[in-house]
Amino acid sequence: MDSVPGFEGGFPCCLEFRGSFYGRPVYQIVDPLPLVGHIAFGVIDRGTNVLQVRPTTVCQHSCIFCSVDAGPRSITRASEFIVEPRWLVRWAVEAARFKGGGVEALLDGVGEPLSHPQILSIIRGLKDSGYIARVAVETHGGFLSRRLALELEKAGLDRINLSVDAVDKGLARSLVGVEWYDVERILDTAAWILENTSIDVVLTPVVIPGFNELEVKALIEWARRRGARRKSGWPTGVLIQKYEVHKYGRKIRGVREWGWSRFYTWLRRLEREAKYRLIVEPEELGFEKRPSLEKPYRVGDKVKVIVVGPGWHWGETLAMDFKQYRVIAIVGDKDLKPSQKLSVVIVRDTDNIYVANA
């Protein structure tokens, strides 16, 4: 399918059709669609000196535990988005300036940031702004190569958060869910990056009960041996993430998610056994509280919006407020048309991410 029913005629502004990805239309987001307000793209501010910068929703991996149901096998997504680089940099830099500069831009998201075709110009734009001190990228590493690493270094990338979940080739491949995933090649490339570039590498595996607890131990050994984290001056080179089940995410049959207390008990035991720091305070990573961006709307507010295109998930529609401050995801009405103006009621406003009912 190359367009979403109801939106075949294109859009008055904001979205340019760029092709399709496994049957889903891919739209490039352009000026003037605001880049604060949506969980899937743009800039997310959680009141610290770290801004999450989300350049794309597209992901070529297909992790069996993906909490955002990304990749070729997605069933919940109606559309994919990539963001026009200069527009993304403009919003990120404006947010960093508001926070007083010295900010980390973490390129992450509900897709694979390195798959954005202009990721190098995004990194360069962020780094050259003078307001962003560090640029990091969160990746599962499928596209990493020595050549790309040299280009990333030249563009100004400071750190790769490498989310590999196992050292065993077969297990890593089955967790990431695509045949071409080669964790040995990825870890070799990461070791080369640590040796030969100014980019740091930190491992960020997801621990899945019953699947890869032992593999995490091997990853800790890899980080220790290779000196992961040294260039950042962090006390650890391994930040373990907990497998979590989300409403729109993929669930592994038969696996029960750990609670936070069980997760931390496991981490503490692993720290003792491996003699390696795994639990760290945000301040030890250079993270600190900073003023949050202005929040123009609250839950319960009635806001006048204009419809700009199809939403990320089925049953969602993208809209922006008349002042063009925020992008808003409207849920619960599938018959909205491009350019339609209507009033919506905000039902979610956490971290300046807006969901509204029509």
Q: Which residues bind ligand SF4 (CB under 6 A)?
A: 59, 61-63, 66, 68, 70-71, 111-112, 140
Q: Which is nearer to ligand SF4, 132 or 219 (CB)?
A: 219
Q: Least separation, in Å, of the C-beta of 182 and ligand SF4?
A: 14
CB atoms under 10 Å from CB of 176, counted, come to 28
- The token pair at 114 is 């390195």
Q: Least separation, in Å, of the C-beta of 141 and ligand SF4?
A: 9
Q: Least separation, in Å, of the C-beta of 68 and ligand SF4?
A: 6
Q: How far apart are CA 168 and CA 183, in angstroms?
A: 8
Q: Least separation, in Å, of the C-beta of 313 and ligand SF4?
A: 15
Q: Least separation, in Å, of the C-beta of 252 and ligand SF4?
A: 12
Chain length of the chain:
358
CB atoms under 10 Å from CB of 250, counted, come to 21
**DSSP SS3 for 142:** coil
Task: Find where tokens 């367009």 sit.
Answer: 3
Nearest to 306 by CA among 268, 261, 344, 277: 344
Q: Which residues pair with 307 in a beta bridge?
A: 319
Q: Which is nearer to ligand SF4, 63 or 320 (CB)?
A: 63
Sign of CA dihedral 130, 131, 134, 140: negative
Contact in structure between 163 and 183 (CB atoms under 8 Å)? no
Q: Least separation, in Å, of the C-beta of 99 and ligand SF4?
A: 26
Considering only the C-alpha atoms of the chain, give the largest distance between any 2 of them, rounded to a whole number of Å.
60
Sign of CA dihedral 319, 321, 323, 324: negative
Q: How far apart are CA 42 and CA 318, in angstroms?
A: 13
Q: Least separation, in Å, of the C-beta of 96 and ligand SF4?
A: 24
Q: Least separation, in Å, of the C-beta of 61 and ligand SF4?
A: 4
Percentages helix, strand, coil for the chain (3-state, rounded to 5) are: 25, 25, 50
Q: Which is nearer to ligand SF4, 92 or 172 (CB)?
A: 172
- What DSSP assignment string belongs to 278-291? ----GGGGT--B-P
Burial 255-281 (b: 16+ CB within 10 A, else e): eebbeeeebeebbeebeeebebebeee
